[in-house]
Structure 1
């Protein structure tokens, strides 16, 4: 039974009327820590109350993602158990919303999705929105683009939707949206296109662009100031690295030319669906190996 996968922490639902549910699961693709950065930012900047907790012992493969334990004075003193929780929050305008955040389930995806559906019904959720980042052949000197997908037309502007036929690896997040669409629940997914050479770094600018698109798609007034400050610092670090490496600068210039050519084309989706000739993977890897080794953007905490 799906209800066995979670427990309601505070009994009755908060006095929310048709809230939005935001969600992000760590462990799958999240270039630039774009989605994880948003979730952490919201938890750090908004008051929140835990309203539901999933039993991660049934969902997480500990051997593939071993939780951290602390050894001190000859004895184990702590265990960082993975946490997948549903938090109740209010945005800067006082509107209610929910945030589901934690590690992506390794197993029992269908049971997990059914459990989330029960929570959506329990709290009267009107719209569900997921978010993450993907690597893309774009330069850091241009705006971070955001593309999207939705369970039905009309939820998002048509020019924001991914205009391509693609086969992609499945994820718990994608399955959740797919099933919600089958059940008639409004749901959207927002995807930030992050410069591929920064995909392994914590790149706050990707979270800023994604957060703004998330606010627009949901109508929530989500705070952004702290992320803006972090992104300015990160941009300065990246630019200094580029200016000090001629090879990296040349690759960035090539990406700028491609980006500008596509932006002058007919479709925003083309950057994702129909990339033109780039430097080879070996060339990019060689140029950026030293760049990434020296770069320190944001903190380097691993995903849960």
Structure 2
């Protein structure tokens, strides 16, 4: 740890001076692009930062050590008549609350030195005495847009009590490729630091640039967990988006048939606990639906070209782009 040119170095991160004094710190993080579909993690973090008046704390000193700039593209922008060049980075903001202070981490999936990247995040959390780490995000799943957005997570017992009725008691059953950033969670657990997560499950057949319903449902759980104002979880834009989806599929019999099968699957799987493991294993989707979701999932596996330094960028689209695909 050393200081230079108004910056303090903590491992791989440069921290702006004067360094704030933080107490009872909670860290809330999102990871793109793997688990930020519909930008739900970004939307939630940005809204929390605006509400609490967050300021930038720091960012990676040499992001090119971890990120491939042919995949996360640098950007050239014009700001107040001046050309500004920016590179993708992992950016950390901080905010003071009534009883807790917050760190907000905009994390990117690294392309190299993944273990060092995770160690750098853990070291930063330790330096500021973080007492709890929470990662939020969104993923595509075999769920219909006509049912409440499914939220799964791993919470403490007290948080589960506070969020009763807002998260699925079944939890996620996902198995498969995952992010190296999960090493952060594993390291914190070994150090006996509470590390929790929340995941919004969004319909694969509808891909919104910004899924405001998913973001609102995710925010709703966070507000219950951390005694934040319920007004932060505004579902009005999400309701408008999903109403437009209803109109778009009204005259498409194939999509309506798909949605009906997903509704049946959702109701049997998530609305009530199974009576036995055998019953749970017996629940399955029709082969045609599974094939459709498999093909959509294959197209989503490779992330699209990322924007540059956009932790505070607001998209010009107010409702996002709705894309419906059939097999």
Both structures adopt the same fold (TM-score exceeding 0.5)? yes
C-alpha displacement at 1:205, in angstroms? 0.7
C-alpha displacement at 1:234, in angstroms? 1.1
Q: Cα distance 1:54–1:275, how it changes in 2: closer, same or farther (>3 A)?
A: farther
Answer yes or no: is the 8 Å Cα contact 1:13–1:122 preserved in 2.
no
Query: Could you list the per-position Cα deviations for residues 98-139 of structure 1 after superposition, in whole angstroms to 9, with x for gaps in the alignment?
Result: 101143322222222222222222222111000111111111
Q: Cα distance 1:186–1:82, how it changes in 2: closer, same or farther (>3 A)?
A: same
How many residues are matched?
281
Aligned equivalent of 1:39: 45
Aligned equivalent of 1:291: none
Q: Cα distance 1:11–1:121, how it changes in 2: closer, same or farther (>3 A)?
A: farther
TM-score by length of 1: 0.78
Say yes or no: does 1:197 pair with 2:205: yes
C-alpha displacement at 1:254, in angstroms? 1.6
Say yes or no: does 1:7 pair with 2:10: no
Q: Cα distance 1:285–1:264, how it changes in 2: closer, same or farther (>3 A)?
A: closer
Aligned equivalent of 2:104: 99
> Which range moved further: 111-120 or 248-257?
111-120
The match for 2:267 among 260, 267, 280 is 260
Mapped partners of 2:251, 2:116: distance in 1: 51
Say yes or no: does 1:216 pair with 2:224: yes
Answer yes or no: is the 8 Å Cα contact 1:237–1:297 preserved in 2.
no
SS of the equivalent of 1:157 reads: helix
Answer yes or no: is the 8 Å Cα contact 2:262–2:285 preserved in 1.
no
Query: Could you list the per-position Cα deviations for residues 229-276 of structure 1 after superposition, in whole angstroms to 9, with x for gaps in the alignment?
Result: 3212212221211223222122112211221222354259x9x98751
> Which range moved further: 97-106 or 120-129?
97-106
Say yes or no: does 1:138 pair with 2:146: no
The match for 1:243 among 250, 265, 283 is 250
Query: Could you list the per-position Cα deviations for residues 161-217 of structure 1 after superposition, in whole angstroms to 9, with x for gaps in the alignment?
Result: 6365x5432314312111111122111111111111124542111111111222333
Answer yes or no: is the 8 Å Cα contact 2:53–2:95 preserved in 1.
yes
Structure 1 unmatched runs, 5+:
288-295
The match for 2:126 among 121, 130, 139 is 121
Over the aligned positions, Cα root-mean-square deviation in angstroms equals 3.4
Structure 2 unmatched runs, 5+:
2-8, 162-167, 297-316, 322-327
Answer yes or no: is the 8 Å Cα contact 1:21–1:128 preserved in 2.
yes
Mapped partners of 1:225, 1:121: distance in 2: 29
Mapped partners of 1:4, 1:24: distance in 2: 21
TM-score by length of 2: 0.73
Q: Cα distance 1:29–1:225, how it changes in 2: closer, same or farther (>3 A)?
A: closer
Say yes or no: does 1:57 pair with 2:78: no
> Which range moved further: 37-46 or 237-246?
37-46
C-alpha displacement at 1:80, in angstroms? 3.2
Aligned equivalent of 1:83: 89
Aligned equivalent of 2:76: 69
Aligned equivalent of 2:236: 229
Q: More helix by proportion, 1 or 2?
A: 1
Mapped partners of 1:199, 1:273: distance in 2: 28
